[in-house]
Amino acid sequence: MAPLFKHAETREMADQLLRAARSISANLADGYGRTTGRERARFYDYAASGARECRDWYFKARKHLTREVLEQRDELLLRIIKILSAVIPRERADRNTRARRRESRRDRGGDSEQR
């Protein structure tokens, strides 16, 4: 990434790449804090979009980065996309909120949380 900041013509590219990468973790964190599966899925979908955008920016930066860096980053971003592609549909289908799941576990005697 550092080589992209060295040249004026690639600084904007580096900035956009960093913004896209930061959006992945920000949306994962935001989604994790949501109470319904539908809400979580929405933010996880934003995170997947950020990962796809990162891949695009790395593709555009391919002339300025080493093959090793590009392959490593692409592999990581693909793993993120694959994981989210599996998680998002499950979260969308989840009708229970976290509070309902805790209540259900507590009713069955499986929640050791003390209140």
The mean pLDDT of 59-88, rounded to a whole number, is 96
- More confident site: 67 or 5: 67
The mean pLDDT of 20-30, rounded to a whole number, is 97
pTM of the model: 0.79
**Domains present along the chain, CATH in parentheses:** 2-95 (1.20.1440.60)
Q: Which two tokens stand for residue 100?
A: 């309902």
- More confident site: 58 or 94: 58
Rounded to the nearest 5 degrees, what angle is found at the Cα of 31, between the Cα atoms of 28 and 36? 150
Across the chain, what does the average pLDDT equal?
87
> What is the DSSP annotation of 9-50?
HHHHHHHHHHHHHHHHHHHHHHHHT-SSHHHHHHHHHHHHHH
